[in-house]
Amino acid sequence: MDWKKSKISLIDAMIIILFLMEVYFILTRIFGHSATDLTIAIQKIA
Percent of the chain with pLDDT over 90: 20
Under the banding of pLDDT at 50, 70 and 90, the label for residue 16 is: very high
pTM beyond 0.75: the answer is: no
C-beta atoms surrounding 41 within 10 Å: 18
Classify residue 34 as left (phi > 0), alpha (psi -120 to 50) or beta. Answer: beta
3 membership: H or E segment, kind and range: helix 2-31
Q: List pLDDT tens digits, range 31-41.
A: 766 667 667 77
Q: What is the pLDDT at residue 1?
A: 53
The ranges assigned to domains in the chain are 19-46
